[in-house]
């Protein structure tokens, strides 16, 4: 009974959400490509203006990355907030900023639980890395859903995205987490490469997973859109 | 539906295990054969260039010559006068780095200052020193054998390190004996076991008391001045164990190290001034050779193949002219090179199985002209007209010798293919049997639950959840990672990574069922319907946190041991008092936690008090032992031995008593005010289950807590906090399982315990190198040398955490037992037992069998790998020991539960018949 109730509730929110903003595949493409361009710009700024790379200065590069990417993502995703009549655009932006900090805490907890080093030396690295991960995972969801627990549960608890916005949030977030998880595997090997340090290869993994999942989310939305079109015809 | 009956299941499991044992032992005996060695002793042919027509007859007659004639024959054949007396001074565990430095750099100043005399000898060219690279395993007996026979032993020599046996192959000591040289041995009694009856005088000391660093060496030195004054011996062996003991206690940088080095330096000085510098009286020339059998790691352990452990020393003192030697030239030789060099210097044949090559520089004292002329004459003059060509040829010859020596050292020995194939096949078969049994009970479990559930829930049951998938994926990850030598070396990362990932996935699962509308209301988690979920979430979070602390406690492995970790930080920051305080607090907390958990179930008050007292007695004794232990670090006192033996007895009787008695006491166990009675029908079946649950809870509690107490006693002081954390993890895991309810898959929870147990194994400082085995702890409370007893203690110390995980299955069964109250009443005893015992017993067996098979295959594939003896073989020994651990643990769990069940049903039958009689 409870489950059924919940299912119904989920369905109603889904209906609301899809009613609030119907997003086309091209729009998904646009959002994703802007985020990817943002990533590219931040790397470019880091390497050309400050001549640092992820390997030489992991902490500063990650700082560049999330500082540049943060406004882009929050401003982008706040456009797709739920029930826009009720919540203003500014409020969604505020939720995004709150989500950035909360998500950073969650990501840092996860990373440390999985074995990230604790110590004064790695503190700034961990903070900057978890800020970046928070941008990839929590911030879009925070901007869009606010504190609606059922939506969060649907996206992150059950991984059952419904509709284009859900895919747009869910797939890249999971891609980033999975990429980071796999990125940690080379760390204990004795290859003695500089990139085996925390958090370099984990960040590479996360970024790679994020990019791949963005492509996947665009493709899924595209395919589902055409399928629905053909059905309607 | 052909369901698997309990008897069949048991039978198949036992068959599977037996097949596995047979396969494993076949494989082990096939893969680790005794060292293949040529039998017999080499004779005069050793001095002649190899020729095609063997001169057997001549040899045979010569072997029977009396010692004196043999001696002069050898001297004649070798063509130069040998040394007369040899003093072989073995300093156990001295790394060559301490004396010669590393990479061309001199050693640290305090080390140079600790050995002024030896350093001055080396600086003035009176002594030549070499890094004599030892082969793994770097433990004393195989290394002594390598030094005197010049052969590399098989890997299994380690296994016999505690059970020394006479060396039967050709070796220097036997050759010395054959030519009638008199030998004296002072020091480690391993020599006496290797060469029984060959020494005219000896005073053996035992390497048994690892904590004794003073007396063990005084017992060697006390005879030294006397022996140096006498001239009736030709070979004097001094084996000093103290330095190795210092290393075992305090590591390379121990405060005792410099005084010990000075003591060794004094001995060198005494011999040099007393014997070598005044070589008159026509007593002939004396050579002093200072060697070490192996080095030590930073923490003072040895056994593996790292540079620190294999870097052993060889110093020749008394070669008059060592012009060929300059300290800047390459001064690295192999340990096996010592044997042929000494053989030639002392005019005996080179031992038959020798793979070492001569250390050429040590022959600089010979009359060069004669020596070179002879060898020159023996060459074919027509081809070698120019000195340069001669040098090329000599260079090529030396190169060949070096390559041949290395090849022989590393040679993978011939293995009986049939035996190996049969062993592997048996192991694969048993693995398949166990896995199919697991699959069957899984399926059965699934079917029965399908019946009980509604359709909607049924659908969610059928889909694979992420945590289930991951639990299976973990096995593949482990199997794949075993093929990489660096992953084997750093296995602790994998176990921690997968166990914490699994815990995170369970956290996600617990969050799935949280029923909150808005995220803000997360804070009133513990109200209303979310209470269970809230407890689950908190439990998992605690598991994660304690797992992370455990992971940070020891920076295990091989490559990153120097990275900071909590144990190093504590040892550096805190003095002994802080460490002791931490140990005491951890002990107190373990006791408090155990007593608290005893009150979780609403049992009978008085009985709980009695059991609590039973537990408190050994607990306080352990605390007292901790208080005493640090004061008497350097000398084992008889009082502490008695105390420890008392603790062993109390622990043993306590556990056994509770395990045997609690099923009989079960009716009183259940308190009258038990809350379950209020809402439960007092039917016979339910009461039976309740009794089963209570008594198995009590037994499980006793197993867990007494095991932890024992570990507090045995483990190193620094490991007391990890023990506390492991205990906390077990209890928290139990509470998670209690709240997870009946619909949670049992096998995931059992697998979680198994994974956490393995992660904890590495958190206690273990690794896949033999060097991390805690040898010092294996002698706690043993008053006389016993290989078996200390072996058992060593096993208990090493496998503390996996054993705890498996033993906790008794409590797990009790915690989960309440689920079976929901079962239909007509379930027969076999079905119930099967459901109780199925996963907790079969899953560890199954998981372990997969890992065993995988590691066997890896070992076969890697048999020619460079690291086969240093990485893969030790890992395989660990896997074998783990298999034994699983067998023991599972059989204890199964025996306990079956015993409890049997006693309870027996009592029920008796009760039933009594009541029938009463009615009549």
Residues of chain B with C-beta less than 8 angstroms from the C-beta of A4 = 456
The H or E element that residue A131 is part of is helix A120-145
Q: Is the dihedral of CA B165, B168, B170, B172 positive or negative?
A: positive
State yes or no: pLDDT of B386 exceeds 70. Answer: no
The band of B676, judged by pLDDT with boundaries at 50, 70 and 90, is: very low
3-state SS record for B274-309: HHHCCCCCCCCCEEEEEECCCCCCCCCCCCCCCHHH
Domain that holds residue A42: 27-232
**Structure token digits, residue B136:** 């793994």
Helix, strand and coil in chain B, % to nearest 5: 65, 5, 30
Q: What is the mean pLDDT of residues B94-100?
A: 89
The H or E element that residue B88 is part of is strand B85-91
Does the distance separating the beta carbons of A153 and B512 come in below 8 Å? yes
The answer to whether B186 and B180 are in contact (CB under 8 A) is no
Compute φ and ψ for B161, nearest 5 degrees: -60, -30
Residues of chain B with C-beta less than 8 angstroms from the C-beta of A110 = 504
**Structure token digits, residue A27:** 């729009």
The band of B913, judged by pLDDT with boundaries at 50, 70 and 90, is: confident
State yes or no: pLDDT of B829 exceeds 50. Answer: yes
Which ipTM score applies to this complex?
0.89
The mean predicted confidence, pLDDT, of chain A is 85
**Structure token digits, residue B74:** 């050898």
**Residue pLDDT, tens place only, B3-19:** 567 888 889 999 999 99
A10 within a domain of the structure (yes/no): no
State yes or no: pLDDT of B412 exceeds 50. Answer: no
Exposed (0-12), middle (13-18) or buried (19+): which is B75, by Cβ within 10 Å?
A: middle
Give the pLDDT of residue B196. 85
Q: What is the mean pLDDT of residues B209-221?
A: 83
Residues of chain A with C-beta less than 8 angstroms from the C-beta of B516 = 149
CATH number of B81-367: 3.40.720.10
Residue A99's Cβ-side half-sphere holds a number of Cα atoms within 13 Å equal to 30
The answer to whether B306 and B284 are in contact (CB under 8 A) is no
| DSSP letter assigned to residue B4 | P
Residues of chain A with C-beta less than 8 angstroms from the C-beta of B520 = 147
Residues of chain A with C-beta less than 8 angstroms from the C-beta of B486 = 188-191
Does the distance separating the beta carbons of B557 and A189 come in below 8 Å? no
State yes or no: pLDDT of B39 exceeds 80. Answer: no
CA atoms of B598 and B34, how far apart (whole Å): 51
**Structure token digits, residue B788:** 């078996």
For residue B159, give how far its alpha carbon lies from the nearest alpha carbon of chain A (Å): 29
Nearest Cβ partner for B504 among A113, A157, A191: A113
- Could you report how far apart the first and last alpha carbons of chain B are, in Å? 42
- Could you report how far apart the first and last alpha carbons of chain A are, in Å? 37
Q: How many CB atoms lie within 10 A of CB B703?
A: 25
Choosing among B519, B549, B555, B559, which should be mutated to test the A contact, i.e. which has the most A CBs within 10 A?
B519
Give the pLDDT of residue B368. 53
Residue of A nearest to B510 (CA): A157
Choosing among A98, A126, A190, A198, which should be mutated to test the B contact, i.e. which has the most B CBs within 10 A?
A190
For residue B688, give how far its alpha carbon lies from the nearest alpha carbon of chain A (Å): 33
Domains of chain B, by residue range, sit at 6-31+415-515+525-919, 81-367
Does the distance separating the beta carbons of B496 and A187 come in below 8 Å? no
- What are the strands, taking DSSP E only, across B210-263? 235-240
Residues of chain A with C-beta less than 8 angstroms from the C-beta of B553 = none
Q: Judge if pTM exceeds 0.95.
A: no
Q: Which residue has the higher pLDDT, B9 or B825?
A: B9
**Residue pLDDT, tens place only, B273-316:** 888 776 655 667 888 999 999 998 888 888 777 788 888 999 98
**Residue pLDDT, tens place only, B692-749:** 888 888 899 999 999 999 999 888 888 999 999 999 999 999 988 888 766 678 888 9
**Structure token digits, residue B712:** 């507090």
Orientation of helix B638-669 relative to helix B684-714, angle to 10°: 170
The answer to whether B445 and B816 are in contact (CB under 8 A) is no
Least confident of B86-100, B376-390, B435-449: B376-390
Does the distance separating the beta carbons of B494 and A110 come in below 8 Å? no
A41 within a domain of the structure (yes/no): yes
Q: Of B183, B187, B162, which is closest to residue B239 (Cα–Cα)? A: B187
**Structure token digits, residue B157:** 């020599």
Mode of pairing for the β-strands spanning B127-133 and B332-334: parallel
Nearest Cβ partner for A115 among B497, B516, B519: B497
Q: What is the mean pLDDT of residues B800-812?
A: 94
Residue of B nearest to A117 (CA): B552
Nearest Cβ partner for B548 among A112, A148, A187: A112
State yes or no: pLDDT of A82 exceeds 70. Answer: yes
Choosing among A5, A99, A110, A113, which should be mutated to test the B contact, i.e. which has the most B CBs within 10 A?
A113
Residues of chain B with C-beta less than 8 angstroms from the C-beta of A147 = 518-520
Residue of B nearest to A182 (CA): B497
Long-range own/partner contacts, residues A200-207 (CB < 8 A, 24 or more apart): A200/A54, A200/A55, A200/A58, A202/A111, A202/A129, A203/A54, A203/A58, A203/A62, A203/A129, A203/A132, A204/A54, A205/A179, A205/A180, A205/A181, A206/A132, A206/A133, A206/A136, A206/A176, A206/A177, A206/A179, A206/A180, A207/A39, A207/A176, A207/A179
**Residue pLDDT, tens place only, B502-561:** 999 998 888 877 766 555 555 555 555 667 778 888 899 999 999 999 999 988 777 777
B287 forms bridges with which residues in the sheet? B86
Q: Of B729, B756, B843, which is closest to residue B502 (Cα–Cα)? A: B756
Task: Note the residue count of chain A.
Answer: 233
> Given the structure tokens 């590479």, which residue do they identify?
A204
Residue of B nearest to A116 (CA): B548
Give the pLDDT of residue B850. 94
Does the distance separating the beta carbons of A181 and B501 come in below 8 Å? yes
Residue of B nearest to A10 (CA): B517
Spell out which chain A residues touch chain B, with contact meaning CB-CB distance below 8 angstroms. 2-4, 6, 110, 112-115, 118-119, 147-150, 152-153, 156-159, 181, 184, 187-191
B205 forms bridges with which residues in the sheet? B188
Does the distance separating the beta carbons of B516 and A149 come in below 8 Å? yes
CA atoms of B455 and A229, how far apart (whole Å): 34
The band of B377, judged by pLDDT with boundaries at 50, 70 and 90, is: low
The band of B634, judged by pLDDT with boundaries at 50, 70 and 90, is: very low
Give the pLDDT of residue B862. 80
For residue B543, give how far its alpha carbon lies from the nearest alpha carbon of chain A (Å): 10
Q: Which residue has the higher pLDDT, B372 or A146?
A: A146
Nearest Cβ partner for A113 among B494, B517, B544: B544
| DSSP letter assigned to residue B335 | G
Give the pLDDT of residue B396. 87
Give the pLDDT of residue B63. 58
A34 within a domain of the structure (yes/no): yes
**Residue pLDDT, tens place only, B755-769:** 999 999 999 989 888
Residue of B nearest to A112 (CA): B548
For residue B117, give how far its alpha carbon lies from the nearest alpha carbon of chain A (Å): 41
Does the distance separating the beta carbons of B520 and A114 come in below 8 Å? no
CA atoms of A34 and A42, how far apart (whole Å): 12
Q: ∠ CA(B312), CA(B315), CA(B317), 5° rounding?
A: 165
**Residue pLDDT, tens place only, B871-896:** 888 899 899 999 999 999 999 999 99
Q: What is the mean pLDDT of residues B347-364?
A: 82
Q: Which residues contact B264 (CB under 8 A, 6 or more apart)?
A: B91, B94, B115, B240, B243
**Structure token digits, residue A152:** 């969060």
Does the distance separating the beta carbons of B557 and A156 come in below 8 Å? no
Residue of A nearest to B545 (CA): A113
Compute φ and ψ for B235, nearest 5 degrees: -135, 125
Q: Of B47, B353, B374, B340, which is closest to residue B58 (Cα–Cα)? A: B47
**Residue pLDDT, tens place only, B229-260:** 888 888 999 999 999 888 888 888 888 899 99
Give the pLDDT of residue A110. 93
The mean predicted confidence, pLDDT, of chain B is 81
Instruction: Quickly list DSSP for B695-745.
Output: HHHHHHHHHHHHHHHHHHHHS-GGGHHHHHHHHHHHHHHHHHHHHH-TTS-
Residues of chain B with C-beta less than 8 angstroms from the C-beta of A116 = none
Does the distance separating the beta carbons of B490 and A147 come in below 8 Å? no
Count CB pairs under 8 A between chains A and B.
70
In the sheet that holds B183-188, the strands lie side by side as B201-205, B183-188, B235-240, B85-91, B286-291, B311-317, B127-133, B332-334
The answer to whether B324 and B138 are in contact (CB under 8 A) is no
The number of distinct structural domains making up chain A is 1
For residue A40, give how far its alpha carbon lies from the nearest alpha carbon of chain B (Å): 31
For residue B395, give how far its alpha carbon lies from the nearest alpha carbon of chain A (Å): 35
| DSSP letter assigned to residue B603 | B
Q: Which residue has the higher pLDDT, B579 or B751?
A: B751
> Given the structure tokens 């059989």, which residue do they identify?
B891
Give the pLDDT of residue A16. 44
Compute φ and ψ for B565, nearest 5 degrees: -145, 175
């Amino acid at each position: 009974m409870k489950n059924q109730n919940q299912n119904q509730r989920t369905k109603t929110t889904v209906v609301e959400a899809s009613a609030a903003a119907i997003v086309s595949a091209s729009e998904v493409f646009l959002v994703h490509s802007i985020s990817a361009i943002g990533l590219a710009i931040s790397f470019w700024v880091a390497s050309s203006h400050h001549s640092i790379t992820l390997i030489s200065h992991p902490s500063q590069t990650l700082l560049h990355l999330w500082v540049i990417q943060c406004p882009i993502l929050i401003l982008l995703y706040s456009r797709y907030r739920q029930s826009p009549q009720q919540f203003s655009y500014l409020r969604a932006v505020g939720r995004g900023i709150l989500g950035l900090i909360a998500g950073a805490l969650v990501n840092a907890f996860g990373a440390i639980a999985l074995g990230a080093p604790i110590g004064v030396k790695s503190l700034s690295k961990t903070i900057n890395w978890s800020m970046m991960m928070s941008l990839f995972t929590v911030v879009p969801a925070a901007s869009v859903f606010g504190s609606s627990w059922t939506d969060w549960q649907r996206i992150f608890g059950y991984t059952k995205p419904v509709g284009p916005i859900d895919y747009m949030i869910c797939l890249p977030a999971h891609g980033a987490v999975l990429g980071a998880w796999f990125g940690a595997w080379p760390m204990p090997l004795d290859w003695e490469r500089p990139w085996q340090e925390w958090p370099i290869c984990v960040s590479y993994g996360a970024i790679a997973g994020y990019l791949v999942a963005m492509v996947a989310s665009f493709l899924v939305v595209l395919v589902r859109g055409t399928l629905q079109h053909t059905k309607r015809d | 539906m052909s369901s698997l009956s309990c008897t069949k299941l048991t039978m198949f499991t036992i068959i599977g295990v037996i097949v596995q044992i047979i396969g494993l032992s076949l494989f082990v005996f096939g893969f680790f054969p005794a060292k293949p060695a040529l039998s017999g002793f080499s004779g005069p042919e050793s001095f002649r260039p190899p020729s095609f027509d063997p001169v057997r007859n001549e040899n045979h007659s010569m072997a029977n010559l009396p010692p004196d004639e043999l001696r002069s024959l050898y001297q004649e054949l070798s063509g130069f006068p040998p040394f007369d007396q040899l003093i072989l001074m073995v300093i156990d565990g001295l790394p060559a780095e301490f004396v010669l430095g590393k990479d061309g750099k001199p050693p640290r100043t305090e080390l140079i200052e600790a050995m002024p005399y030896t350093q001055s000898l080396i600086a003035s060219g009176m002594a030549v020193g070499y890094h004599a690279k030892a082969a793994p395993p770097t433990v004393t007996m195989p290394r002594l054998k390598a030094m005197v026979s010049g052969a590399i032993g098989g890997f299994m020599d380690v296994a016999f390190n505690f059970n020394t046996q006479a060396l039967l192959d050709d070796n220097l000591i036997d050759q010395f004996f054959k030519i009638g040289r008199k030998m004296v041995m002072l020091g480690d009694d391993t020599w006496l076991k290797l060469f029984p009856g060959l020494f005219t005088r000896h005073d053996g000391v035992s390497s048994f008391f690892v904590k004794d660093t003073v007396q063990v060496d005084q017992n060697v030195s006390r005879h030294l001045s006397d022996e140096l004054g006498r001239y009736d011996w030709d070979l004097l062996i001094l084996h000093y164990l103290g330095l190795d003991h210092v290393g075992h206690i305090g590591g390379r940088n121990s405060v005792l190290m410099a005084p010990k080095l000075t003591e060794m330096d004094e001995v060198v000085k005494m011999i040099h001034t007393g014997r070598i510098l005044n070589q008159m009286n026509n007593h002939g020339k004396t050579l002093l050779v200072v060697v070490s059998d192996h080095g030590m790691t930073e923490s003072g352990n040895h056994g593996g193949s790292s540079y620190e452990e294999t870097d052993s020393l060889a110093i020749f003192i008394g070669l008059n002219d060592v012009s060929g030697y300059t300290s800047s030239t390459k001064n690295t030789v192999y340990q096996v090179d010592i044997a042929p060099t000494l053989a030639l210097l002392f005019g005996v044949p080179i031992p038959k199985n020798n793979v070492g090559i001569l250390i050429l520089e040590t022959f600089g004292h010979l009359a060069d002209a004669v020596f070179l002329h002879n060898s020159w004459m023996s060459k074919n003059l027509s081809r070698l007209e120019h000195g340069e060509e001669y040098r090329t040829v000599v260079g090529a010859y030396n190169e060949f010798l070096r390559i041949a020596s290395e090849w022989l050292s590393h040679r993978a020995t011939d293995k009986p293919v049939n035996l190996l194939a049969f062993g592997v096949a048996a192991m694969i078969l048993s693995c398949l049997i166990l896995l199919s049994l697991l699959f069957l009970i899984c399926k059965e479990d699934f079917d029965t639950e399908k019946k009980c559930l509604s359709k909607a829930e049924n659908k969610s049951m059928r889909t694979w959840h992420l945590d289930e998938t991951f639990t299976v994926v973990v096995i593949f990850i482990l199997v794949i990672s075993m093929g990489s030598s660096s992953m084997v070396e750093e296995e602790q990362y994998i176990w921690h990574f997968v166990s914490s990932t699994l815990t995170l996935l369970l956290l996600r699962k617990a969050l799935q069922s949280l029923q909150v509308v808005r995220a803000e209301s997360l804070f009133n988690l513990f109200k209303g319907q979310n209470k269970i979920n809230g407890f689950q979430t908190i439990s998992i979070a605690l598991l994660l946190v304690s797992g992370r602390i455990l992971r940070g406690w020891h920076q295990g492995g091989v490559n990153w041991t120097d990275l900071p970790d909590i144990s190093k930080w504590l040892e550096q920051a805190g003095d002994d008092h802080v460490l002791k305080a931490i140990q005491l607090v951890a002990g107190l907390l373990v006791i408090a936690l155990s007593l608290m958990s005893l009150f979780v179930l609403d049992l009978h008050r008085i009985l709980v008090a009695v059991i609590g007292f039973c537990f408190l007695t050994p607990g306080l004794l352990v605390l007292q032992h901790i208080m005493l232990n640090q004061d008497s670090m350097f000398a084992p006192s008889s009082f502490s031995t008695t105390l420890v033996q008392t603790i062993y007895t109390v622990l043993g009787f306590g556990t056994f008593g509770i395990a045997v008695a609690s099923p009989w006491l079960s009716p009183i166990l259940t308190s009258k005010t038990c809350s379950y009675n209020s809402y439960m029908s007092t039917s016979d079946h339910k009461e039976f289950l309740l009794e089963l649950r209570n008594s198995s809870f009590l037994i499980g509690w006793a197993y867990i807590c007494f095991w932890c107490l024992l570990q507090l006693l045995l483990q190193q002081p620094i490991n007391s906090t990890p023990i506390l954390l492991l205990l906390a993890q077990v209890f928290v895991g139990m509470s998670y399982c209690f709240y997870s309810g009946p619909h949670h898959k049992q096998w995931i929870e059992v697998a979680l315990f198994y994974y956490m147990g393995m992660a904890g194994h590495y958190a206690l400082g273990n690794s896949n190198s033999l060097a991390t085995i805690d040898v010092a702890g294996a002698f706690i409370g043993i008053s006389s040398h016993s290989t078996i007893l200390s072996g058992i203690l060593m096993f208990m110390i090493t496998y503390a955490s996996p054993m705890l995980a498996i033993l906790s299955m008794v409590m797990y069964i009790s915690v989960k037992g309440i689920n079976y109250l929901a079962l239909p009443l007509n379930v027969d005893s076999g079905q119930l037992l099967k459901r109780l015992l199925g996963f907790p017993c079969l899953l560890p067996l199954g998981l372990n069998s997969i890992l065993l098979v995988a590691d066997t295959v890896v070992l076969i594939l890697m048999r020619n790998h460079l690291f086969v003896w240093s990485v893969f073989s030790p890992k395989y020994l660990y896997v074998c020991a783990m298999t034994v651990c699983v067998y023991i643990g599972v059989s204890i769990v199964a025996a306990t539960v079956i015993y409890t069940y049997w006693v309870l049903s027996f009592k029920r039958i008796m009760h039933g018949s009594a009541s029938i009689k009463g009615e009549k």
